[in-house]
Amino acid sequence: MAQLKSVDAVIVGAGFSGLYLLHLLRGQGFTTRVFERAAGVGGTWYWNRYPGARCDVESMQYSYSFDEELQQEWSWPEKYSAQPDILDYINHVAEKYQLSKDITFNTSVCRAHFDEISKQWKIVTDTGEVVKASHFIMATGCISTANLPNIPGTGDFGGKIYHTGKWPHEKVDFSGQSVGIIGTGSSGIQSIPVIAAEARHLTVFQRTPHWTVPARNVPMTDEYEKIWKKDYAERRAQMRYSPSGSLRSVAPIDISALDVSEEDREQAYRERWAAGGMTLLKSYNDLLTNDAANETAAKWVRQRIAGIVKDPKTADLLSPKTYPIGTKRLCLDTDYYEAFNRQNVELVDIVKEPIERITLNGLKIGDRTFAFDSIVFATGFDAMTGTLLRVDIQGRGGLTLQKKWEAGPRTYLGLMSEGFPNMYTITGPGSPSVKSNMMSSIEQHVELVVDTLMHLRENSIETIEPHRSAEDDWVEHVQEVANQTLFPKANSWYMGTNIPGKPQLFMPYIGGVGAYRRICEEVVADGYRGFAFEQKISEAAAAE
Ligand code: NAP
């Protein structure tokens, strides 16, 4: 029988995480295979091509920091980059470090089983390839499995159906069309103004109004770029130990919102609203921990909505009232509320009366029918765990990841799960991941994994795996920290509530990027505290 191909590491995914992993592992002499289901690199930026798709972290910070030459040579056209520009950047990175030649595209990993005798992972792809690897690294991203709700009749629709997270490569032209869009999270909020400007008519179906603040995106200026590039390394170092993995243009105020006068608060909120971006939530130190403090910001933003949206009924419908501001991901928009002042845009509340079914011509809600040429689902993702649990992963004793995580994800540091030796989840549940600038968190996890593999190799260690007690403590700590905040008060994909039947608990680690990095550094300095090692048995010893 032919021997199976064996490598040091198999990486799943060729987004920002997978590419950096490949670059570092290859540089350290590890044999590596990368499997990517798409036809190209880019991960989330490969798939999310919907109109208006844009990053809500500034480009100078949402980019790799590992190579001074790369960060100096690249110029971003705008403050917040649009999807095509981010994809251009990722392709440039793949070309600069000659990464694509080691990536197998159009190939999904569908099974990974750990063999306790050989201490290797056996990985099977949907093209029938089988590879053995000492290390199995899921670099599959946090929001990579689209959620298409099970609305009756979806297959009956005679027009075109799109999902923002699986957008076609060719330009979708909505000119002259009547379009329906379901969902008003970040993807809906970004695409609604753009589709509204093109379509004949746009109907927006809203279940929960999301909080959104202006991005104030502008073309990149030479001056701003120079400010960053002058001391890029120093700024990146600050980002790595900051709470969110990024630096704010307006400094946070380290006092309670309730300890200042209403005039002072108004001034602070006005400044941050004018500056744009996420800084509004950092106006005071208790906006995400104290209901009354939070409500001061929420009320102020509701007044802005009422000031922009001309129809009071529509303004009221767009104003969130059922959960604190910032506890679902805060959205950054460009002219979102303004879009509802257009004659061709209609907002339909589907809380009291949900969509009953999709029909041949459109959709039906109670006795109302809507006719559409196209329907856009901006309905989000089975986030954080969806992609991991769709792969048939089996660890020791045939334990499946589905079984292990049936009550919610269980990891130590968001990086590894007990029972699954040498399997790593880059920005996995239980790490800062989506509650941070993803680029800072990706680089940290990738470097930690590569350092770990080098440590194992240098010390003839065959496997690494968390102790159950360390994992239990970490899972508890992640929830403890979340419970000190207002985040669990919202139904959000952070909590898993957007997917029917999914366990509900706060999945990312919200203790801060810098604090988390320090914890990881201490764990390593303390001889990988909380991890168990299995030493390689030398051939001589094995023969005795
Ligand atoms: P999302 O935030 O989960 O929003 C999904 C929307 O669809 C929500 O309004 C949700 O309503 C609605 N929905 C879901 N199922 C539905 C159903 N069965 N019937 C009716 N409505 C339904 O998803 P997203 O907008 O794609 O964003 C996901 C995340 O991706 C963001 O939070 C962000 O982290 C990331 N993202 C970032 C950017 C950026 O960088 N600017 C852009 C896009 C996405 P409910 O709220 O009631 O559940």
pLDDT-derived band at 250 (thresholds 50, 70, 90) equals confident
Report the separation in Å between the CA atom of 543 and the middle of ligand 1, taken as the mean of its atom positions: 58
Report the separation in Å between the CA atom of 184 and the middle of ligand 1, taken as the mean of its atom positions: 6
**Spatial CA neighbour of 332 closest among 82, 74, 15:** 82
Report the separation in Å between the CA atom of 499 and the middle of ligand 1, taken as the mean of its atom positions: 11
Judge if the beta carbon of residue 141 lies within 6 A of ligand 1.
Answer: no
pLDDT in tens, 307-316: 999 999 999 9
Burial 460-489 (b: 16+ CB within 10 A, else e): ebbbbbbeeebbeebbeebbebbeebbbbe
Question: What is the overall mean pLDDT for the chain?
Answer: 96
pLDDT at 183 over 50: yes
pLDDT-derived band at 542 (thresholds 50, 70, 90) equals low
pLDDT in tens, 359-414: 999 999 999 999 999 999 999 999 999 999 999 999 999 999 999 999 999 999 99
What are the helix (H) ranges across 52-182?
68-73, 83-96
Judge if the beta carbon of residue 404 lies within 6 A of ligand 1.
Answer: no
Distance separating alpha carbons of residues 59 and 517, to the nearest angstrom: 22
Report the separation in Å between the CA atom of 329 and the middle of ligand 1, taken as the mean of its atom positions: 9
pLDDT-derived band at 539 (thresholds 50, 70, 90) equals low
**Spatial CA neighbour of 313 closest among 340, 336, 334, 333:** 340
pLDDT in tens, 461-470: 999 999 999 9
pLDDT at 117 over 70: yes
User: Given this model, what pLDDT does residue 1 score?
Assistant: 47
First-residue to last-residue Cα distance in the chain: 28
User: Given this model, what pLDDT does residue 218 score?
Assistant: 96
Judge if the beta carbon of residue 493 lies within 6 A of ligand 1.
Answer: yes
Q: By percentage, how much of the chain surpasses pLDDT 90? A: 95
Judge if the beta carbon of residue 375 lies within 6 A of ligand 1.
Answer: no
Judge if the beta carbon of residue 498 lies within 6 A of ligand 1.
Answer: yes
Name the residue type at position 540.
A
Name the residue type at position 502.
K
Distance separating alpha carbons of residues 225 and 243, to the nearest angstrom: 23
Report the separation in Å between the CA atom of 325 and the middle of ligand 1, taken as the mean of its atom positions: 15
Report the separation in Å between the CA atom of 381 and the middle of ligand 1, taken as the mean of its atom positions: 7
* Number of Cβ within a 10 Å radius of residue 111: 15
Judge if the beta carbon of residue 329 lies within 6 A of ligand 1.
Answer: yes
Question: Which residue's CA is minimally distant from atom 26 of ligand 1?
Answer: 380
Judge if the beta carbon of residue 207 lies within 6 A of ligand 1.
Answer: yes
